[in-house]
Amino acid sequence: MNIGEKAPEVLGINEKGEEILLSNYQGKKVVLYFYPKDNTSGCTAEACSLRDNYSALKEKGYEVHTIMVNTGGFSAEEEKAIENRALTLGAASHINVNAVEAYYNKGIKYLIYGNILKNATYPLSVSSERVFQALEVLDHVRKLGAGAVAHGSTGAGNDQVRFDIVFEILSPETKIIAPVRDEGFSRQFEIDFLQKHGFDFSWEKSKYSINQGLWGTSIGGVETLSSDGYLPEEAYPTKVTKSEPEHIKIGFEKGEPVSFNGEKMSPVDVIRAVRAAAAPYGIGRDIHIGDTIIGIKGRVGFEAAAPLILVKAHHLLEKHTLTKGQLYWKDQIAGWYGQQMHEAMYLDPVCRDMEAMMDSIEKYVTGEVEVRLMPYHFAVLGCTSEHDLMSSKFGAYGEENKSYTGRDVVGFTKVIANPLKIYYSVNNTPEE
């Protein structure tokens, strides 16, 4: 279904196997609650708040429905658990949406094309997910005819902007409810609230906020709130279990990852295969410091083995297969594209223009890259490609050439030097 199209009568199936009909909500006020992540206390506290105030909402004519958009961080078992929790908390209906392929095709693919690492460090692991989650939520809002949407973002981070801006641009009539932000809930308040309402978590284990998706995992904790803290080993969801070096090969076709160790597979599966091979080495761990959308500095830890390896491997292949001009101009737009993605401006039409240019440039970025995995680091060893511009048929740099003579070089040097020779002769100075 596309934006602007009329919603279908049948919206989905509820937990009882019954059809959810659009006509059932005609004339009603509907709140759609967006549940982005199950492993944080904030979202759970928000859900409890909605549950506890459900009678008040009903008195005002509201019905609360929930949606969970999976961008690669949930298993089928986790999706079912979230659905059960939502219905237990009082949701009129719940839907799980798998947006992994859409997220790759419309977002991650271009992050790979652009070799995008924010501040030369962060692959936009979670920040790049939010707009695609919000778009799926918007689609469901329109199917339900909901008048309001709720999310669990705080008032201190980027996600509130990323969620809100999609609705501000495409559905300004939809009311946005953000209890954690609007009420100023502290983390301790959320813990106390959950304990009061019978949610017995292991708070020691849950002291780190974990947001996992296809393109990596972000990690927040007390260590990331200061400028000198560093996350301990136990903060990372993937434990280090490998120590012996391992070689892997990643195949690319027109810039997209299409094979792992010679086995053809979808780009999404390649990402998962690289992560499975590399993450147990502790590869891809770091802390990013950068400017938030709302103007303050922020730090976030992350675990992103697959993104870092794929970006570096892809970049090496590009250096062998693209011209000097292609490399230069793609670097100029790629940095801005990453900034647009980070700053929640994905809907700016200039992003479609930049994507079109990157699609064109990646035409011959095809080949295989070898990577060596080691504890806490990796090395990109080399590549093979039928489009390798370092072809031996034209010569070997520093050794021999097969397409020009020494006399050609002398003439070329005279021609290329002539404009500056004239400048320095006229101005009678050897240098400035």
- Does position 55 have pLDDT exceeding 50, yes or no? no
The 3-state DSSP class for residue 336 equals helix
Residues 126, 37 contacting (CB under 8 angstroms): no
Residues 231, 224 contacting (CB under 8 angstroms): yes
Comparing 24-28, 97-101, 388-392, 409-413, the range with the smallest average pLDDT is 24-28
Residues in contact with 348: Cβ distance below 8 Å, sequence separation at least 6, in sequence order = 340
Closest Cα partner for 6 from 117, 119, 142? 142
HSE-up (13 A, CA, CB side) for residue 319? 11
- DSSP for 380-416 reads EEEEE-TT-SS-GGGEETTTEESS--HHHHHHHHHHH
User: What pLDDT score does 155 carry?
Assistant: 80
Length of the chain: 432
242-262: average pLDDT: 98
Looking only at the bridges linking them, the beta strands covering 367-374 and 377-384 are antiparallel
Q: What is the dihedral of CA 130, 69, 236, 346, to 10 degrees?
A: -20
How far apart CA 257 and CA 268 sit, in angstroms, is 8
Q: In which band, very low, low, confident or very high, does the pLDDT at 400 lie, cut at 50, 70 and 90? A: low
User: What pLDDT score does 104 carry?
Assistant: 98
361-374: average pLDDT: 98
Give pLDDT tens digits for 294-310: 888 888 899 999 999 99
User: What pLDDT score does 41 carry?
Assistant: 42
pTM confidence score: 0.81
Q: In which band, very low, low, confident or very high, does the pLDDT at 39 lie, cut at 50, 70 and 90? A: very low
Comparing 116-120, 131-135, 160-164, 198-202, the range with the smallest average pLDDT is 198-202
User: What pLDDT score does 5 carry?
Assistant: 62
- Does position 121 have pLDDT exceeding 60, yes or no? yes
How far apart CA 95 and CA 74 sit, in angstroms, is 14
Query: How many Å is the maximal CA-CA distance in the chain?
Result: 90
- Does position 196 have pLDDT exceeding 90, yes or no? no
Query: Could you give the percent of the chain with pLDDT greater than 90?
Result: 56
Residues in contact with 268: Cβ distance below 8 Å, sequence separation at least 6, in sequence order = 72, 100, 101, 104, 214
Query: Could you give the percent of the chain with pLDDT greater than 70?
Result: 80
Choice between 15 and 84, residue whose per-residue pLDDT is larger: 84
Per-domain boundaries in the chain: 10-209, 210-384, 393-427
Eight-state DSSP code of residue 104: I
The type of residue at 423 is Y
Residue 389 tokens, joined: 């511009």
User: What pLDDT score does 26 carry?
Assistant: 63
Give pLDDT tens digits for 334-348: 999 999 999 999 999
User: What pLDDT score does 205 carry?
Assistant: 54
User: What pLDDT score does 195 carry?
Assistant: 78
The type of residue at 161 is V
How far apart CA 369 and CA 289 sit, in angstroms, is 30
| 276-280 contact pairs (CB < 8 A, 24+) | 277/246, 277/248, 277/373, 278/248, 278/305, 278/306, 278/309, 278/373, 278/378, 279/238, 279/303, 279/305, 279/306, 280/238, 280/239, 280/240, 280/241, 280/242
Q: How many helices (H) and strands (E) does the chain have?
A: 14, 18
User: What pLDDT score does 38 carry?
Assistant: 44
225-230: average pLDDT: 88
How far apart CA 98 and CA 101 sit, in angstroms, is 8
- Does position 189 have pLDDT exceeding 50, yes or no? yes
Give pLDDT tens digits for 64-114: 899 999 999 888 998 998 898 888 877 889 999 999 999 999 999 999 999
Query: What helix, strand, coil percent values describe the chain, rounded to 5?
Result: 45, 20, 35
Eight-state DSSP code of residue 116: -
Residue 277 tokens, joined: 């091979």
Instruction: Find out if CATH 3.40.50.300 is the number for domain 10-209.
Output: no
112-123: average pLDDT: 95
Comparing 34-48, 350-364, 418-432, the range with the smallest average pLDDT is 34-48
Residues 124, 338 contacting (CB under 8 angstroms): yes
How far apart CA 293 and CA 131 sit, in angstroms, is 14
How far apart CA 337 and CA 342 sit, in angstroms, is 9
Q: Which residue has the tokens 């008032």?
A: 155
What's the gap between Cα 393 and its chain centre?
41
Give the mean pLDDT of the chain.
85
Q: Is the dihedral of CA 396, 400, 406, 410 positive or negative?
A: positive
- Does position 365 have pLDDT exceeding 60, yes or no? yes
Q: What is the dihedral of CA 232, 236, 241, 243, to 10 degrees?
A: -60
Residues in contact with 234: Cβ distance below 8 Å, sequence separation at least 6, in sequence order = none
Eight-state DSSP code of residue 205: G
Comparing 121-135, 304-318, 334-348, 394-408, the range with the smallest average pLDDT is 394-408
Residues in contact with 178: Cβ distance below 8 Å, sequence separation at least 6, in sequence order = 150, 151, 152, 153, 155, 160, 164
- CATH label, 210-384, candidates 3.30.70.980, 1.10.645.10, 1.20.1510.10, 3.90.1260.10: 3.90.1260.10
Sheet containing 94-98: which strands, arranged edge to edge?
Answer: 94-98, 62-70, 29-34, 148-150, 175-177
